[in-house]
Structure 1
Amino acid sequence: MTTENKDIMIRLESHHIWIETIGEQGEQLGIDEIDLRNVELSHYPLGQAYITACNFDGMNLNRKDFSLSLLSSSTFISTSLEGADFCKSNVSYADFTNAKVKGARFADCECIETVFVKADLSDANLVAGLFDETDFRNAILFNADVRLATFEGALLKGAILTGVRELKEAFIKSINIGSPEQPNILVGEEAKKWLNDNILSYE
């Protein structure tokens, strides 16, 4: 084990104690630009932490608790995150390309320019999330719950939207059915109609 990995393990344990004692002991985790791919994270909670620009690529983090954490600019490329909890976290500018995020909870989550290209978000809870210029191109959103979620400039080209739930309860400001380089922006009712048509077209 490298010295850096030993240091991370000590800090993870301290964060665990901090959570268990409601902040009376231990220390809240705060790390930046750390490669965590060779760190054993299975026994440690990652909620209520500051984990910015860190690398989780290709890891198995199914059902991991990331709730109430700042995870901006971190990468989860091809990471397995089925059933993971990102409730009330900030994953702005994070990259979930090809991630397995089936059944994950992004409720009340901030996702500004977050990348979900080719991610599997089947059955995901997106309730009250903020999806501002979020990239869902070629993502699977089968049966995802979007109640009270806000979409503004979200990229949706090639996304599978079959059975998306509670669309009527979502705030659809605008969507981009083109690309970042060649945008095709649909606003308001036009955006809602496109979404409705695509939800039904796969049935």
Structure 2
Amino acid sequence: MKPDIKEITIQLEWHQIWIETLGELGEKLGIDEVDLRSMNLSHYPLDQANITDCIFDGIDLNNKDLSSSSLCSSTFISTNLEGADFGKSNVSYADFTNANIKAARLADSECIKTVFIKADLSDANLVAGLFDETDFRNAVLLNADIRLATFESVLLNGAILTGIRGIEEAFIKSINIGSPEHPIILTDEKARIWLRNKSMNNE
């Protein structure tokens, strides 16, 4: 849905007041199925918001605070999210294909069926995140930190995992090194060993 820019701007301003007054004034942002590509979001906070099934494709959100937000089913295709904060956010069913997510924070985030195909997550903080059927195919996870993260049915075919940190402290239940159509499932210790080998040498 094309946004009514004036209406969305008013909602963003109310949300800013809501955050600044700790909920005493203003109103928490809640939008659904809005194309935000024509909006200038640089001046407005996007944390603690409900922004579902919205389009952020190709825009610049580097260092943006999106923490404690619900961003389910939204798309961030080819979006610049370097240094962005998704801590404690729900990004389940969101699409980050080809996005720049370098040094972003996804700690304590919920990523169920989230798509990170060809995304760059170098140096990203994934500590204590929930990754269930998450698609990291051909993604770059160079030096990413996965301590205390849960991996279950995570797709990793073609992913660059060199230097990935926290493998021993992560909850590695199962990974799929094949495809959705032709899965090759590794579980528990076999999955951990595969990850460990990839982190040391991605050949």
TM-score between the two structures when normalised by the length of structure 1? 0.98
Aligned partners of 2:86 and 2:198: how far apart in 1? 27
Which residue number corresponds to residue 26 of structure 1? 26
Q: Are 1:114 and 2:117 counterparts? A: no
Q: Alignment RMSD, CA only? A: 1.1
Cα deviation digits, residues 38-65 of structure 1 (max 9, x gap): 0000000000000000000000000000
Moved more, 2-11 or 143-152: 2-11
Letter in 1 for 2:31: I
- Aligned partners of 1:5, 1:68: CA distance in 2, in Å? 24
2:180 corresponds to: 180
Look up the match of 1:130. 130
Q: 1:163-174 alignment to 2 at 5 Å? A: 163-174=163-174
Number of aligned positions between the proteins: 202
1:158 match: 158
Residue type of the alignment partner of 2:181 = E
Structure 1 stretches lacking a partner, 5+ long: none
Q: Which amino acid aligns with 1:4?
A: D
5 Å matches for 1:1-203?
A: 4-202=4-202
Residues in 2 aligned to 1:176 and 1:3: alpha-carbon distance in whole angstroms: 39
SS in 2 for 1:131: strand
Shift in Å at residue 93 of structure 1? Answer: 0.2
Task: After TM superposition, give the deviation of residue 202 of structure 1 in Å.
Answer: 3.1
Secondary structure at the counterpart of residue 15 of structure 1: helix
CA apart distance, 1:3 = 7.2
How far off is 1:196 after superposition? 1.0
Contact 2:45-2:65 at 8 Å conserved across structures: yes
d(CA) in 2 for partners of 1:7, 1:185: 48
Consecutive unaligned residues of structure 2, counting only runs of 5 or more, are none
Counterpart contact for 2:112–2:133, Cα < 8 Å:
yes
Moved runs in structure 1, 4+ residues, more than 6 A?
A: none
Any idea what SS the aligned residue of 2:117 has?
A: coil
